[in-house]
Amino acid sequence: MNTNTDLKQLWNTQTSEVPSINELFKKASKLRNFTRYKLLIVNIMLAVTLAGLTIMAFHSHTMSSTASIGITLTVLAIVAYLYASNEIIKLLFKSDFDSSNSEYLRNLIQLKHKQEFLQKTITTFSFICLSVGVFLYMYDEAVQRGLEYSLIAYGLTGAWIAFNWFYTRPRTIKKQLTNLTEIIQKLETVNAQFAETK
Amino acid sequence: MSFEEIHKTYWQRVFRLCMGYVNDRDWAKDIAQETFITVWQQLPKFKNESSIGTWIFRIASNHCLRQLEKDKRMMKTALPAQIEEKPPPDIEDKVQFLYKCISELPETDRIIISLELEDIDQAEISNIVGLSESNIRVKIHRIKEKLTEKFKHYEH
């Protein structure tokens, strides 16, 4: 068989009905609205948290400094988490589709590593801030109410934080990262196809 | 060239490239549509540094690569080495067989052979894929050999 002609002939036999331009525009606006909606939600939460922080700062003269620091750390944990979510959404919709395939793949791998870093580091950072924040916030109350109360309150909170740190946190990170790690592996396998021929 | 003209001129070619990559009509249609959405969004920024065709095929093949993120639907069934006694395949069977064979190649090879079968010259393929022209030439030769071999078994 004449490979070239035959393969090209067979290849060109495959056709598909050309969809209308309107169908395409509808899909484009659906995609755009989806991204905007996600970004909007995250940013509203960010704004509300920052507003909360500002209000607390104004009223901080009524609280002791340890409680203020505690609240600030707690809010910081939430802000950090929302910031990471915001960055991840932006990364996911970043487009450099007109680079060459090898360059595009390299950028995609970098982007996924960045996403991995953001998820892993920020989740840990948020947990630390949240835990320390709660401990500090409770400090004054515990000192005022005596040793027995302190032991019970800190014991229970400590147990709760330990549960989150040793059980919830690793599971959250694992869940988020397993999928991402698989994707990175697949991307790297394909990237190796470029390297093999160089 | 207006977007409408681009869409009309390139739809079938982009669709075939996507079909070669995933061998699933609905999925290929989705990727082709995503490609044209990007083309529509980026068209005002397009500088005539490369031909519009090269630019569109770059976008399309990168959208194909992006499918690695949602590759769950991809069927990786092994091709039968030899077909049992059956009547000779008709054209439609052969077309399906060709697309199946291509979609089972390594990802970069799928893109390279699809572009070659679309009659894009090797310098442009090299520009789209990001490999040297000599590499592209060697790869095309090897892929065609592989496909011819599979067709030999299929037809006899």
DSSP letters for chain A = --HHHHHHHHHHH---PPPPHHHHHHHHHHHHHHHHHHHHHHHHHHHHHHHHHHHHHHTGGGS-HHHHHHHHHHHHHHHHHHHHHHHHHHHHT---TTS-HHHHHHHHHHHHHHHHHHHHHHHHHHHHHHHHHHHHHHHHHHHHH-HHHHHHHHHHHHHHHHHIIIIIHHHHHHHHHHHHHHHHHHHHHHHHHHHHH-
In this prediction, residue B72 carries a pLDDT of: 54
In this prediction, residue B82 carries a pLDDT of: 45
A21: chain B residues, CB-CB within 8 Å: 3-4, 7
A22: chain B residues, CB-CB within 8 Å: none
Query: What is the extent of the structural domain holding A125?
Result: 22-197
Q: To 10 degrees, the CA torsion angle through A66, A69, A75, A76?
A: -140
| Residue, of B65 and A34, whose pLDDT is higher | B65
| Residue, of A84 and B35, whose pLDDT is higher | B35
Q: Cβ B95–A14 below 8 Å, yes or no?
A: yes
Question: Contacts for A170-176 with beta carbons within 8 Å, 24 or more apart?
Answer: A172/A123, A173/A119, A173/A120, A173/A123, A173/A124, A176/A119, A176/A120, A176/A123
CA atoms within 13 A on the CB side of A113: 9
The span from the CA of B94 to the CA of A11, in Å, is 10
Please give the structure tokens belonging to residue A196: 């093999």
A4 in a structural domain: no
Listed residue (B97, B110, B98) closest to B18, CA to CA: B110
A188 in a structural domain: yes
Residue identified by tokens 């309150």 is: A153
Dihedral-angle region of residue B77 (phi above 0 means left; psi in -120 to 50 means alpha; beta otherwise): beta
Q: Does residue B70 have a pLDDT over 80? A: no
Q: Cβ B59–A97 below 8 Å, yes or no?
A: yes
In this prediction, residue A197 carries a pLDDT of: 58
A8 in a structural domain: no
Name the closest residue on chain A to residue B148, using Cα atoms.
A3
Q: Cβ B4–A187 below 8 Å, yes or no?
A: no
Listed in sequence order, the residues at least 6 apart from B16 whose beta carbon sits closer than 8 Å to its beta carbon are A11, A12, A14, B114, B117, B118
Domains and CATH numbers, chain B: 3-77+84-155 (1.20.140)
Q: Cβ B127–A100 below 8 Å, yes or no?
A: yes
pTM above 0.90, yes or no: no
Name the closest residue on chain A to residue B19, using Cα atoms.
A14
In this prediction, residue A74 carries a pLDDT of: 83
Highest mean pLDDT among A150-164, B37-51, B56-70: B56-70
Residue of A4, A7, A108 lying closest to B98 (CB–CB): A7
Listed residue (B126, B101, B99) closest to B112, CA to CA: B126
A191 in a structural domain: yes
Would you mind telling me the total number of residues written for chain A in this entry?
A: 198
Domain count of chain A?
1
Name the closest residue on chain B to residue A97, using Cα atoms.
B59
Q: Cβ B91–A186 below 8 Å, yes or no?
A: no
A3 in a structural domain: no
A185: chain B residues, CB-CB within 8 Å: none
In this prediction, residue A66 carries a pLDDT of: 83
Q: Average pLDDT, stretch A96-114? A: 88
Listed residue (A17, A97, A31) closest to B26, CA to CA: A17
- Measure CA A162 to chain center: 23
Greatest Cα pair distance in chain B: 56
ipTM of the complex, rounded to two decimals:
0.84
A152 in a structural domain: yes
A13 in a structural domain: no
Q: Cβ A101–B62 below 8 Å, yes or no?
A: yes
Q: To 10 degrees, the CA torsion angle through A53, A59, A63, A69?
A: 20
